[in-house]
Chains A and B, each alone.
Chain A
Amino acid sequence: MGDLTHVTIAFETSHLVFPTLIAGVLVLLGLAILLRDRARIAASGAAWRQTFAAMDKPRFLGTIALTLVYFSAMVPVGDLWPNTGLGFLICSIPYVAGTGLLFMHDRSWRQAVPLAIVALAGPTFVWWLFTYPLFLTLP
């Protein structure tokens, strides 16, 4: 019994001990879920189609697309004026305005003007706050 429970961990491979154990437990749990929920998993195609049909696609996919473009553009734009945080400022203004317009239901000047003010003032204030009082350089 003592030999069966005895464990020696080599320092060189000690980084793999716990991840291997956890991966094993994950696989076992995954198999248990597969077995238990096999009917639900088999029918998941229909559930996803339903989710996709019920989804507000322009708003959901638009948010993801705008966010990815925003993240991608920040550094290249910021590199044009290094260490000024202008990449963040220049990209955030259209991003806030764009997502705001995307989320807006009844698009009118009356709704758009407050959004435009927030889109300009919000990123500018945050850029100023982090650049000057907090001394944290933005992209």
Chain B
Amino acid sequence: MFEFITPLFVSLILGGTLVGIIFGAIPGMTATMAVAISLPLTYSLGLENGLALLLGLYVGGISGGLVPAILLGIPGTPSSITTTFDGYPMAQRGEGEAALRIGIISSFVGGIISLAVLWLFAPTLADFAIKFSYVEKFLIILFALTVMAALSSDMLLGIFSGVLGIFVSLIGVYDVSDGGNGKLRLVPPGWEYWLDSGFSLLPVLIGLFGLAAILEQAELGVPRGHSAKDIKVGRHSAFSFSVFRGQAVNLVRSSAIGTFVGILPGVGGSAASIIAYTNAKTFSRHPERFGKGEPAGIIASESGNNGLTGGALVPLLSLGIPGDSTTALLIGAFTLQGVQVGPLFIGNNPGTWNAMIVAMLIANVAMLVMMYVAIRWFARVVTIPKHILFPVILMMCVIGAYTINYGIMFDVWTLAIFGLFGWLAVKLRLEIAPFIIGFILGPSAEIYFVKSLESFGDVTIFFTKSWIAVLLWALILGSVVLSVLLARKARRGEGS
């Protein structure tokens, strides 16, 4: 049952977690980037070992963001933005090490609670989703896109980004293996040879999360690295577990919020930590202390963002819909190994499912031990010069794009196209997460939509097929109404 646990499997998790923490700890580099450039390595590792590496990177990357957030007031990853609110003031008053240890333990608790939810909930959801026909599957994708749009900073641009992702995914041939007619569409004249199968997923992802992030840094002039004297770990700041006394509710609530946000498609860790932090402040007896170095703020933020890790895998493994950008990249690992994620995945691949759960568990424990024991060493990671790191990452992006389809140079140009697009999209206020999820789910959405109409010959089937379809429409409508209400509230907030 656990024959996948080999020295290589464990080493890959430990190595992945270590590299992930380093990536997360360097501002401008994220867990998503770490996973993106490591994807080609999984090709030769096999699925279980490849996932071990990627899940280690994921857990480590999300956790590592707390280091610069606390020591420098700069979130290492977007999901640790609220950690800066209380972590940095603590570091300023010489309690950096204590703040780091609070963050590390909270990250661990968040990760373990979300893992428990994943283990219990994903198989149940998958069992339920097995009964879905093409109609319900199409509506699930529609629901995922509307939820993403509802929780985007701009609903209209969020929907536009998601639909644009679907549109780009349709470029190329309507695949015969999916029941299509094998004809090309949306391909400019002269590009038929290159775009016969459309843009390959992994170069697109590496471009959007690797090259685009470095272009953003280059635009800012590649901000100078930090010197050792900028880091105030606080040699005399004693850490005591008593700081967690009375914080059990905060820990569990924030972890649960992070997990729930993770289950919602495409929402991301920054939303998880912001919602968890806001709730902790609202329910605190001392809300006035938040933002001034209150440990409860770090607990909420870090348990919230690590709560995302297991939650984001729930829709991926039970429905085939990624919960965030990083889990979208995991689809790449499955694609490389020829495994399709969806409702049948857990039942058909119990070994891989067990390997993922064990890998997440080991990654969380490894993160706790590594960061707790070697926090002073990790604190120095923020001083690694970017003029050495970024060129190596750019080279790894090229390697990743080139090797992913056994050596196609057009994939490297795809990386360049989507790297530039990713940079431009931020300027145009387009949302990358909905775009990516639209791009991943677009071909499936097409099959489900067209096959539903071919089978039933009537558009009303999308409303009348089953009670699940009706429920999904209610949820879609609910998410649209929610997004309108949130937009109004935000406008009122700006006005007042």
Chain A interface residues (CB < 8 Å from chain B): 2, 5-9, 11-12, 14-19, 21-23, 25-26, 29-30, 32-33, 36, 48, 51, 55-56, 59-60, 62-64, 67-68, 70-71, 74-75, 88, 92, 95-105, 111, 114-115, 118-119, 122-123, 126, 130, 133-134, 136-139
Contact = CB atoms under 8 A, between A and B. Distances in A.
Given A68-B416, A71-B412, A111-B387, A122 B407 contact: no
A71 B416 CA distance: 9
Contacts, number: 167
Given A63-B214, A71-B412, A96-B394, 8 more contacts: A2-B458, A8-B457, A33-B157, A67-B211, A88-B402, A101-B387, A122-B392, A138-B403
Interface in B58-109: none
A126 B395 contact: yes
A30 B409 CA distance: 33
Nearest to A123: B395
B180 interface: yes
A100 B458 CA distance: 59
A99 B185 CA distance: 38
A9 B445 CA distance: 16
Closest 4 interchain pairs by CB?
A: A56-B221, A15-B174, A103-B387, A18-B446
B249 interface: no
A29 B159 contact: yes
B453 A7 contact: yes
Contact of A67 (B156, B166, B394, B445): B394
5 contacts: A18-B450, A22-B167, A32-B156, A33-B157, A64-B420
Nearest to B170: A19
A30 B224 contact: no
Contacts of A22: 163, 166-167, 170, 442
B391 A100 contact: yes
A32 B454 CA distance: 31
Nearest to A3: B458
A9 B453 contact: yes
Interface string B450-486: 1001100111100000000000000000000000000
A106 to B, nearest CB: 9
A99 B413 contact: no
Contact-residue bracket for chain B: 35 or more
A136 B404 CA distance: 10
Contacts of B122: none
Given A9-B454, A104-B387, A56 B449 contact: no
A136 B395 contact: no
B232 interface: no
Contacts of B290: none
Nearest to B404: A136
B2 interface: no
A122 B163 contact: no
Given A29-B163, A114-B388, A123-B395, A16 B409 contact: no
A118 B391 CA distance: 9
A27 to B, nearest CB: 10
Given A68-B416, A71-B413, A103-B222, A119 B391 contact: yes
A8 B195 CA distance: 29
Contacts of B394: 67, 95-96, 99
Contact of A139 (B181, B402, B420): B402
B373 interface: no
Contacts of A103: 218, 222, 386-387, 390-391
A17 B396 CA distance: 39
A6 B221 contact: no
B183 interface: yes
Given A5-B458, A18-B449, A126-B395, A59 B221 contact: yes
B494 to A, nearest CB: 14
